[in-house]
Copies of this chain bind each other. A is one copy, B any other.
Amino acid sequence: MATEEPTESLADAGEFTVIDRLIRGRRQPGGVEVGPGDDAAVLAAAEDARTVVTTDMLVAGRHFRLDWSTPHQVGRKAIAQNGADIAAMGARPTAFVVAFGAPPDTPTAHALELTDGMWQEASRIGAGIVGGDLVSAPQWVIGVTALGSLDGRAPVLRSGARSGDIVAVAGELGRSMAGYQLWRNGIEGFDELRRRHLVPQPPYRQGPIAAEAGATAMTDVSDGLLADLGHIADASGVVIDLSTARLAADHDAVAGAAAAVDADPWAWVLGGGEDHALVATFGSAPPPGWRTIGRVLDGTPAVLVDGAAWRGNPGWDSFG
């Protein structure tokens, strides 16, 4: 970045020059027959030729704030939340395509930092950015599509939970919401929590591990634990009963921050989304890396907390 004028904008450079810079020098992982720069990318046949695919859109001011996040952090988050959806099927992310809309006066350097962040997170998973689009938009908007491979496993759906199953989680709960409330209230300190809101750390590898271990249902916590388990309860036709005793570690991890903004830490653990933890049900003991947090019961689909309905905020609605 030392070679370019820091104030050069996307409009100054022009679409094709910017695209050229964004894709130059990136090292694609194996399996990319045709990378960025043509009409479409071509991915080589995997051993398991089924394709897992998911897409998410992130809008500035709604899903990230450029006064809180660096462009690099936004890029990591955009890849992370799509990678988590692939992992939640029991699959391994293999490739991403990204569309980026931004105002013409956006510094070219910021587009490069965003792309660097995307590549960093994709590389952590062993995947690459194989294609993209760059357009003018009134505010930053990022569309990411992730592709994945099941490597011969059956996909783990939301509909397979059965009475008697154990509910378990891999990854963190409540941290992203804690960070969000800290940022929103302008509270310093709690650096790790504030960072977690900007860059979630999904336990990608635990998706395939859970599938191998026979997970009966799985999803990632994007809207909040209760809301996302509600999707499993509905799709599976079961009751899920969570134990607060089993969630004490998450509660304790955010309790100090909750006190600082006078919030209920349980609302964050049970209702806060965007950590992209994985939550799954198992017919037997969950594998290492998973913590038991509840059990599956018969009954009219619902998610209970210690046997009763939770009275706090159940989660995130995009239009709420």
Contacts and interface: CB of A to CB of B under 8 A. Distances in A.
A229 interface: no
Contact of A40 (B37, B91, B98): B91
Given A89-B39, A89-B42, A135 B62 contact: yes
Contacts of A95: 53
A40 B120 CA distance: 23
A260 interface: no
User: Closest 10 interchain pairs by CB?
Assistant: A143-B143, A49-B49, A45-B49, A40-B54, A57-B99, A145-B145, A39-B88, A55-B97, A15-B318, A11-B319
Interface of A: 9-11, 13-16, 18, 33-34, 37-46, 48-59, 61-63, 85-86, 88-89, 91, 95, 97-101, 104, 130-139, 141, 143, 145-148, 150, 155, 157-159, 218-220, 235, 317-320
Given A219-B39, A318-B15, A141 B59 contact: yes
A227 to B, nearest CB: 9
A45 B143 CA distance: 25
Copy total for this chain: 2
A85 B39 contact: yes
A277 to B, nearest CB: 13
Nearest to A234: B16
Nearest to A137: B59
